[in-house]
Amino acid sequence: MLAGLSLAGGLLLHGLGLRAGVGWYPVVPRAAFLVPLVVVCVAVGLRRVATRTGLTLGTVAIVADLLLGGSLATSLVYTQVLYDSCVYGSARLWRRLLRVTVALTVVVPVAGVALLRDWRAVALGVLVALVGLLPVLTGTTVRQYRDQAAAERVRAEQTARLVEWDRRQAVGAERSRMARELHDVIANHLSAVAIHATAALSVPGLDRAQVDSALRVIRENSVQGLAEMRQMIGLLREPAGDGPGTDLAEEATRARLSEVDVLVTRARAAGLAVRDRVDGVPRPLPVAVDLAGYRIVQESLTNALKHGAGETTLEIAYRPGVVVVTVTNPVRAGRDGLAGAGAGLIGMRERAVLLDGAFAADEVDGTWRIRAELPTTEAT
């Protein structure tokens, strides 16, 4: 389209007899100027599909036109070729065109004055600047604005992708945290229910007192587990951003490490022999450390109830800058108890790691040991 318009305009200027007036060969027929005009218009048509080829054709056409004496039509169309080469060509191409046109703008008038011995030859520099340097500068400016806009779009897309990735990460982390809390809240109660129900069904000859004791433990753990699960579901249904009271970790059961005697009493009532000991002077802990320690003790006692045999030892050591929770218990031979999926160990490790603490779980000579070190100094 643009090539056709350029050809039509060039033919109009040619028909009006407008020429550049260089006048090297004034006897050349006017029809000879149509050949460079057609070639430079073809170069305009190649501006998007073959920029370098179009620039080469256009340069050959303008040189041929100047050798014929120069025409205004071909010179004007060639400015479009230079402009398109800067806009649609490579960065290397427009940089090279800029250097060449600046050099020609300086060299041509100097050479003209030196050869023609006339200061009026400086006007040749003005012509070179109008035909060569000005369209190159214009095209370069447009190209830079276009590249800058493209870079801004890319940055905006990258930012949007990062925001979406952060959102998905936050959703995944929140889902993992909710799953961990739900597991820790009800696993202990359901494990006790399952163990006592299994015992009541599998042990023959239980007297009425033993059956009543098992049913009592089942009922207490069922009721308490349901109550804690309702509390958790209620917290999840609350609107977000209503203040610190809605924080899941803090509000789940208001658990504190200093209240693990409740867990010990519950474990003993479920039939687990527990020996607990506190080393050091108990002190107030950050909320996250309090909850993590409580949950680790709760999950460790649950695992001991399901898989352990014999007495379980619980030790809580208050040391400078850290609180250490250690739970050890003999492992039942064959482990024919309730099978686990390992979610409890994963949850305990995550709680410790999130606080920049350390967690270890291993079995040595038939004894299973859980050890968690939780820093008590909050980051500032």
Q: How many CA atoms lie within 13 A of 174 on its CB side?
A: 10
Considering only residues 120 and 370, tell me which one the structure prediction assigns the higher pLDDT. 370
Contacts of 198 (CB under 8 A, 6+ apart): 338
* Distance of alpha carbon 81 from alpha carbon 44, whole angstroms: 6
CATH of the domain at 353: 3.30.565.10
Highest mean pLDDT among 190-194, 263-267, 305-309, 369-373: 369-373
| pLDDT at residue number 245 | 40
Q: Does 370 map to a domain?
A: yes
Q: Does 46 map to a domain?
A: yes
Q: Does 213 map to a domain?
A: no
Domain boundary among 107, 136, 154: 154
**266 and 133 co-located in one domain:** no
**140 and 273 co-located in one domain:** no
Mean pLDDT, all residues of the chain? 79
**pLDDT at position 76 over 80:** yes
The position carrying tokens 């009922």 is: 219
**15 and 150 co-located in one domain:** yes
| pLDDT at residue number 23 | 47
Instruction: Out of 225-229, 245-249, 307-311, pick the least confident.
Output: 245-249
Domain boundary among 109, 134, 154: 154
Residue 284's domain comprises: 255-380
Residue 252 — very low, low, confident or very high, per pLDDT cuts 50/70/90?
very low
| pLDDT at residue number 287 | 82
**pLDDT at position 232 over 80:** no
| pLDDT at residue number 314 | 94
| pLDDT at residue number 319 | 92
**265 and 139 co-located in one domain:** no
Q: Does 245 map to a domain?
A: no
Domain boundary among 154, 179, 200: 154
**132 and 268 co-located in one domain:** no
| pLDDT at residue number 234 | 64
**19 and 133 co-located in one domain:** yes
Q: Does 201 map to a domain?
A: no
Q: How many CA atoms lie within 13 A of 285 on its CB side?
A: 29
pLDDT in tens, 331-358: 876 554 445 556 678 888 888 888 889 9
94 neighbors 102 (Cβ within 8 angstroms): no
Residue 250 — very low, low, confident or very high, per pLDDT cuts 50/70/90?
very low
pLDDT in tens, 15-29: 776 655 554 455 667
**Mean pLDDT value of segment 82-106:** 88
Number of domains comprising the chain? 2
Considering only residues 11 and 141, tell me which one the structure prediction assigns the higher pLDDT. 141
The secondary structure of the chain, three-state, reads: CHHHHHHHHHHHHHHCCCECCCCCCCCCCHHHHHHHHHHHHHHHHCCCCCHHHHHHHHHHHHHHHHHHCCEHHHHHHHHHHHHHHHHHCCHHHHHHHHHHHHHHHHHHHHHHHHHHCCHHHHHHHHHHHHHHHHHHHHHHHHHHHHHHHHHHHHHHHHHHHHHHHHHHHHHHHHHHHHHHHHHHHHHHHHHHHHHHHHHHHHCCCCCHHHHHHHHHHHHHHHHHHHHHHHHHHHHHHCCCCCCHHHCHHHHCCCCCHHHHHHHHHHHHHCCCCEEEEEECCCCCCCHHHHHHHHHHHHHHHHHHHHHECCCEEEEEEEECCEEEEEEEEEECHHHCCCCCCCHHHHHHHHHHHHCCCEEEEEEECCEEEEEEEEECCCCC
**pTM for the predicted model, two decimal places:** 0.45
Q: Does 194 map to a domain?
A: no
Q: Does 374 map to a domain?
A: yes
**Mean pLDDT value of segment 153-162:** 88
**pLDDT at position 54 over 90:** no
| pLDDT at residue number 251 | 44
**268 and 147 co-located in one domain:** no
The long-range contacts involving 358-363, CB below 8 angstroms and separated by at least 24 positions, are 363/331
**Mean pLDDT value of segment 147-156:** 88
CA distances from 23 to 19, 66, 70, 124 (A): 9, 9, 7, 14
**143 and 10 co-located in one domain:** yes
**Mean pLDDT value of segment 233-250:** 50
Q: Does 34 map to a domain?
A: yes
